[in-house]
Amino acid sequence: MQDLTLIPATRKALPAEPFLGRHLIGGAWVASAETFDRISPAHGVLVSRSALGSAAETEAAIAAARAAFDGGEWSRSSGKARAGVLNRVADLIEANAERMALLECLETGKPIMQARGEVSGAADLWRYAAAQARTMHGDSHDSLGEDMLAVVLKEPIGVVSIITPWNFPFWILGQKLPFALAAGCTCVVKPSEMTPSTTVMLGELLIEAGLPAGTVNIVLGFGQPVGALMASHPDVDMVTFTGSTAVGKSIQAAASGTLKKVALELGGKNAQVIFPDADLDSAADAVTFGVYFNAGECCNSGSRIILHEDIAQDFVTRVVALSRRVAFGDPLDEATQVGAIVTPAHNAKIDGYVQAALAAGARIALGGAPMRIDGLPGEFYAPTIVTGVTPDMAIAQEEVFGPVLSVLTFRTLDEAVALANNASYGLSAGVWSENVHTCLAFARRAQAGTIWTNTWMDGFPEVTFGGMKQSGLGRENGRYGLEEFLEIKSVVMRVGRTRANWVR
């Protein structure tokens, strides 16, 4: 590992005491008899101790959300009133970003600069949702004849269960909760047991912003029993989940008993296709960013590149050189770009994919093993580039969720499209070419919810996000992200006494 850029342990002091997390139910903070701990994956110290939720706390949270919705203080409030609260939340997030970012850094293992950007950037999602609360509207039909008028109402769907993952705990909550609130829904939130603390901190800010009691409830704990009950409970009208495809399928099955609405943002095996006429320097930098951002623990990770044979060797050389310059190390250091892997088990899983590819005939151009950072006991994996990958290998088909790049090659556009679509996932894809016709042809044929052209992972609150195939159901962000939380109702009205009697 001598030729990599490694950042050793800093001298920054860690928090003297763990963050203590409790449930938020009906506007009150609630403890549990049992607790669970989160150990920093980079530093090996106790970061947080949280109340361990059971079926009882989950039932109470759902009941509080149901009563709040039916009571109407939030669900029947004006868009102006909702927007005011959401904008106050955004201001409070920005004011508390530094302390929240520190907890996010320590619980996830991501670099402090990235945690800071994630938390402060999420405020923009709240402000966009606030704007949506003021501008959402239904439709009218005034062409049904002079004696008829119909209007289409868009109403909040009801009580929403929100289940979030560990890799972007605050950002992904920001893609769900403010949009649900803008629509007028009430919510029960379960963060990942590995990253619960920033969600609890947000609960504090919601109270300070004046959100009515019971509108948002937070239950800490594990998928069983908390998440399972949130998905199956008859008083829940919708469940939205981000995480693995396997868990998404189990949530959809649990929700089927009551036919509630389900929105799922699941895994990805995202391909970037690079043509010979691309700006190779820009493409190489974007590929390097795409695979190492958040240590590759990202559903949008650009974990596959599909290179034209004429440029394959040169392009891999460029990415290897850039990868050596990416700073891996202590997440608390401002210079670090890639931090720790979330758990020892996940680190072993990443390495299992790499070793299986080697056994199947692939080659390692860089990395290929777990590594240690001076002064830190935690989990790290070296920047890794695997060449000689064939489409049938697990590393080309399955979500590795680590800093591992798989390299495949092609000769024609048809072959590139076929390789990009040769996965059960369909979250995102990218194409690099200076020829707009090539980019458009690929974008129209690629089976993915987002297609980036000559860029990677640029996102905005205005631009809708979601997947095809086994990458999920439904959409987040943008106008469509708000409409996920709305129910459609048609109201048909007769003007005057113009209907002829049916009974003669």
Cite the active site residues.
265, 299
Enumerate residues 6+ apart whose C-beta is below 8 A from 259.
none
Q: How far apart are CA 76 and CA 185, in angstroms?
A: 10
Cβ(162)–Cβ(240) below 8 Å? yes
Number of CB atoms found within 10 A of residue 372's CB: 12
Residue pair 427/467 in contact by the 8 Å Cβ criterion: yes
Concatenated DSSP letters of 212-274: PTTSEEE--S-IIIIIHHHHH-TT--EEEEES-HHHHHHHHHHHTTTT-EEEEE-----EEEE
Residue 428's nearest CA partner among 442, 408, 410 is 442
Check if the beta carbon of residue 68 is closer than 8 Å to that of residue 213.
Answer: yes
Helices (H) and strands (E) in the chain, counts: 16, 27
Phi first, then psi: what are they for 378, rounded to 5°? -80, -170
Q: How far apart are the first and last CA of the chain?
A: 92
DSSP letters spanning 303-342: -EEEEETTTHHHHHHHHHHHHHHSEEE-TTSTT-SB---S
Residue 20, strand partner residues:
49
DSSP per residue, 8-41: ----PPPPSSPEEE-EEETTEEE--SSEEEEE-T
